[in-house]
Amino acid sequence: MRKTRAIVITGNGTNCEMEAAHACRLGGFDEVVIAHIAEILSGEISLDDFHFLNLTGGFLDGDDLGSAKAQANRLRHAAVAGSNEKLVEQFIRFITDGKLILGVCNGFQLMVKMGILPGLDHNYLTQSVTLTHNDCGRFQNRWTYLKVDPKSPCVFTRGIVRGIYLPMRHGEGKFICDSEETLKRIESQNLAVFKYSGPDFATPTMEFPLNPNGSQNGIAGICDSSGRLMGLMPHPEAFVHYTQHPRWTREELPEEGQGLALYKNAAEYVRDHLV
């Protein structure tokens, strides 16, 4: 059997690449590569050789032009050295080959601004949603309760019954759509995987600070219709072990952090469908 391979892209202001790679290993991937974007643009590393692409948090290009916008423009127009293709063609081939992409925080911002999410009508190059400045007008760093949509096609959330508890840290996390029609389609197709909620995971909330940014309908993360492409603002890679929980010295907790489930689901999917 071929090895399951994950890649984590770094460079131009990303961070969390070490944590994301560690989460992939804990989740069950055989090989995990942290690659600088320059290595991909030079042709030294190709996305074609991997099954799971991680786009991590950070402050791409200092958030100039808005979070991840400069990198989105770069990836859509830059050519791969020594070839006749643009890098975005590798992204589209990665998607059409049935592989997985997870964008966290800045990575989620990158996916929506490239147009990869929500990918309505399988259109992965037209932006229809965005992530913009928090309603409170400042950076937020806190833990959030995320209600999961059990009807979502999302590969990453299989087995998560009610919701999960994850940290978030961002200044531009407010999810908004370009039209009411786009929002209706996301909701009707159950693409709003995660929504901010209270600790009972009962209903989505617009109440601050449970909803830390004012996202429409409380949306914290979305996927495409295949369920293989997902982005979310909170950080699953930052809660893969109980010692990362803010109350780990005061509560009895399982050894595995709740964020690890996303990476275990990804590894299982790759083993079952791609190798």
Q: Active-site residue numbers?
A: 105, 235, 237
The half-sphere exposure of 97 on its side-chain side, counting CA atoms within 13 A, is 19
Q: What are phi and psi of 260, to 5 degrees?
A: -65, -25
- Give the Cα separation of 59 and 194 in Å (integer): 23
- 3-class SS of residue 254: coil
Q: Are strands 174-177 and 129-132 parallel, antiparallel or unpaired?
A: antiparallel
Q: Which of 99, 97, 95, 106 is nearest to 37 (CA)?
A: 106
The partner residues of 142 in beta bridges, in order of sequence, read 168
- Give the Cα separation of 140 and 212 in Å (integer): 7
